[in-house]
Structure 1
């Protein structure tokens, strides 16, 4: 059958009813069908595992098993197709989700750098992607050369996991990029030691997982003095949460931002109870100051602030260890929220229509006391028609002042004012 016998509207209706498997079979029938149905097959590419529940990946935990083999094969096949055979595939993609699965056989194996070069080449071909979700995976790798601006047409961006600052900057920053409608920065970390883009000889952490929170060796700990001038690429930074991505250049791209999500695992809690790997740095004041400055600059319609615990980490080496620990007394993780973010949320802004706070239900519900029972925030919700939603993580509470970290895999019902 000649596809030209039917108008394009009919083919659109047919394509919407076909599964990806059926589309792949139809495309093989002829070049004409490939031209018609190809854009439908490749418009949504999801080659990721970072949204899979941790229980489904526990069997893969280990420093040398960052991704399932079948995902690696699919990623390699897609990369080869775009770079060597069908570059037009990249132009058909509109939604792109990718977990950086960089293989290695040794901590100092140079192969991941070479593989990262191919991945960046793939990203650079996708000039028409509208929605991009990139997770840095569990291995922090240095780009072999400077990275050009990536995904210029993206208006929905989500970044998470470990990655080099240069990669995050190439996705978020750059001239002549589309304005963002939604932005999510979820537990974005780097491992530091970015001296002129060269590999360091002695990694501070030997086993890499999603956030670098895995088995470590005390002998690998190496103090790092930050060398990072304002408005410049970092030469050397302590490993920990990535900073300075929410800068003025990104704010100018978010003039009409509808949704902003900022999520961070509490390094401060790990530090308090001695679970933070040696050499890691938790810049609590700087991080929350950056959040507050960016929120004030972009004034999103929907703001979500989320504090994760380590048990939500995929393939986290501290997961079992975390559940065995019993925490007593008040935890300090909320202090920077109180100092930096709460005053801004009290004041509000005209564009704000929905505010979500996701936190842990611990320490005698301190965050709940700070927000729900704060009359000013309650007035913000009533007077300015802002919907305030709280979705706490749920843990068993056994005895006054004692909290056993035993995950229930469920949330309390959301509380809305």
Structure 2
């Protein structure tokens, strides 16, 4: 078996009353009642890490609490050749050219045939595919299958390579519904009647995002050697070239010339055999040249402790060069901390420029905004307060729940 059940705990949707607006709460209850006799399957390619994993860990038990028959299955292991092809596919969706061979497409489709076979053995009403690795599985199904397929794209898809567009159109043709984060992410040439837009969102009541006091946050941060008597800025993300950790270091070093006491915390997650990430870490260390105020915390900070850094930091940075969404932006703003982010992808939708942080397009611009907010703490505090309310209205999980439930109800009819 390739797909395995993912075990999650129980949640109580009623606890969102008072956190979200009453109209949204009531909409979700109304829509969920229409789906109580339906079987819904979520599938993704990783069952223990990443933004999609965190999202489903919250979403699945909440939908179950609304008496919808939800299952969640994930791939635990994939062959090395399939992994390499899906990595190339991901890069192609992001706009990096690669001439796929027939052999590579056969590797991809053969694996998806195996996924499809496992799925069609059960009487699902809806299957929601959460990533590109299994995008091709719906076209491998028996044509008589009554399953309604939905693809939820979690990538920045506005600029796939020209050679890849036709292949994506082919794989997406059998899908009844397709969800993109934002209108500009819609892949060209798709049937518009099946499209909807709804971005991923954060769960404000999860252990990771639940509000903590500044004193609690400082106690956690202090354990990692951060000097609480001096300002510090933080970036949290996986370590890859799109997150531009080296650019953050450059901006910090420039800011440090005006604010010598400024500390930088880089929190990164990376697999031990990722040679590209290791090269980035080496570059960071080379740029910092032994600077003691750089705190490079690789695979050291547990998920539950990230909230403390997002709460206690003077500023959170997310200087991505490309970004499908960037959950850490919403997480930081929900923590009441202003964010300086790259003017790309989903970050542009989360940061109201000049209101809850700044959008930047260069190292120079990033450094100037860092200096501005460190030297104007009252302004930074006002931005953090604005940001928390903006996230409450636009990027909390119940809004996404409503959007997905609404789509399934529409497809039923």
Report if TM-score (shorter chain) is over 0.5. Answer: no
Asked which structure has the greater RCO (Cα within 8 Å, sep 6+), the reply is 2
Higher Cα radius of gyration: 1
TM-score (norm 1): 0.29
Which structure carries more helix by proportion?
Answer: 2
